[in-house]
Every structure is written in C-alpha cells, then in structure tokens.
Amino acid sequence: MKLLDMTKKYGKATYKYPLEPYEVSEGFRGKPSYTYDNCIGCTACGVACPSNAINVKLNEDKTKLVWEFDAARCIFCGRCDEVCPTGAIVLSQEFELAVKFDKNNLKERGELDVEYCEVCNKPFTTKRLISYILHRLEKVGWDKETLGEKVKYAKTCPTCKREEKVEVITKYLKRGTK
C-alpha cells in the first residue's frame, strides 16, 4: 500500500520525450561538432582520438586532405576538443545520433586544399596550416620582411628540410676538413 501512496506523492516521473526535449547539464559531453571553416588540417585530433573515430588522410590522388569523423566510433572522451588548436572541433550537447538505414549518415567529412613542397613538389600539408602559422608569427610580432623570407621555409616539406640541413652540414664539415 505504501508503494501506491508513493506513486500519488511523486506523481508523474516520465517525460514526453521525444515530443518534449530532454535537457542535459551544461558540461555534458555530446557529439563533437566540427566547424569546417576553422579546421587547418593539423591532424592533432586524429592522433589523439583513442578509438579512431577521426581520421585525417590524403585522398587517393593526393589533391586534398580529407578530415573524416565517424560518430559510430566516438566514445565522447573529448580528447579531440582538448588538442584542437583552433577550436574547430568541440563537444556539443547533442546526443541524438541515431540514423535511419544508412550508416554513412553517421560520418562527417571535410576536404582541405593541400600545399605542395616548394622543393620536391609533393603534397605535405594544407594551405590553411601554412597561413595559420604565418598568421601566428605575424601576431607575435614578426615583421613582414622576415616573414617573407620564412615563407619558403614554411612551404618546404619535412623531408626536404632534413635533406637541406644535411647538405648544409656536410658542406660545413667538408670545409672544416680542408
């Protein structure tokens, strides 16, 4: 009998969900939301993601860097949010992820233009990443002139940079032995 009294006392305990929204708390960790315009393709999120929900890879003909997110693999840990330098990916309050019939609807994609190495002409990063770096350097007080000199360096791929370094050093050492 006591149980029936309790039912009276507390009344309705259910929501009319989904006809009425379910409010989540402020710090809720929901589906990561991606803002294409902010993404610079640095791949930090892809490296940090423990469940491989995010993959950042060159496409087949190496003309675009493809950022891809699969909500079905996401465990909402928020590591991507933590490492993204531009806030392009942040956890949202969204939790209604179900899709009908086609699992591809769980995926999100962004294609970024790639930058080619000034020396070997191979694609190695995105245009946006280069301009992001230059922009940051400008912000910390580098003047236009020094920056101009550095553009070539920024647009050289790591392999070529390494080779260039080796070349310089060997030259230097050879001079030393003479």
Partner 1 sequence: MKIGDKLINKVKEKITIHEIYRQPEDQITITVDRNDLPETVRILYYDLGGWLSSMIPNDERQINGNFALYYVLSMEGGKMTPEDELPQDEKCWITVKTFIPANDPTFPSVTLKVPAAVWYEREAYDMFGLTAIGLPDPRRLVVSDDWPEGLFPLRKDAMDYRHRPDPVDHKDEPEAKFLKPEGAGVLDVPLGPLHITSDEPGHFRLYCDGDTIIDADYRLFYQHRGMEKLAENRMNYDQMGYLAERVCGICGYAHAIGCIEAAEKAIGLEIPLRAQAMRVICLEIERLHSHLLNIGLACEVTGNVNAFMHIFRIREFSMELAQLVTGGRKTYGNVVMGGLRRDMTGTEIKKSLELLETIEEQTKEVWEAVMDDKNQVDRWKGVGLLDKQVARDFSPVGPNIRGCGFKRDSRYDHPYDFLTQLDFEIPTENGCDVFARETVRYRELLESVSIIRQCFEMMPGGLTVIKPQTMIKPGAYAIGNDEAPRGENIHWIMHGNAQKVYRWRCRAATYNNWTSLRYQFRGNTIADAALIVCSLDPCYSCTERVTVVDINSKKTKILTYQDLKRYSQSSKNHPLKNM
Query: Interface residues with ligand SF4 (CB under 6 A)?
Result: 32, 39-45, 48-49, 51, 53-54, 56, 67, 74-80, 83-84, 86, 88-89
Query: Given candidates 68, 73, 78, 111, which one binds partner 1 under the rule CB under 8 A?
Result: 78
Rule CB under 8 A: choose which of 35, 51, 63, 170 binds partner 1.
51
Place of tokens 């230097």: 172
- Burial annotation 75-94 (CB, 10 A radius, 16+ → b, else e): eebebbbebbeeebbebeee
DSSP assignment of 9-55 equals: HH------TTTSPPPPPTT----EEE-GGG-----HHHHH-TT--EE
Q: Minimal distance in Å, beta carbon 137 to ligand SF4?
A: 17
110 DSSP β-pair partners: 67
Binding residue (CB under 8 A) for partner 1 from 28, 96, 97, 113:
28
Beta bridge partners of 116: 123
Residue from the set 21, 24, 168, 171 that interacts with partner 1 by CB under 8 A: 24
Q: Is 98 in the site for partner 1 (CB under 8 A)?
A: no
- The site partner of 56 among ligand SF4, partner 1, none (C-beta below 5 to 8 Å per kind) is ligand SF4
Closest separation between CB of residue 74 and partner 1, Å?
Answer: 9
Strands 32-34 and 64-70: unpaired
Q: Which of 75, 97, 120, 166 binds partner 1 (CB under 8 A)?
A: 75
Determine, following the binding rule CB under 8 A, whether residue 7 of this chain makes contact with partner 1.
Answer: yes
Q: Which spans in the chain are helix H?
A: 2-10, 44-48, 79-83, 127-139, 144-154, 158-177
- Residues lying near partner 1 in the complex (CB under 8 A): 1-4, 6-7, 10, 13, 24-25, 27-29, 50-51, 75-79, 82, 91
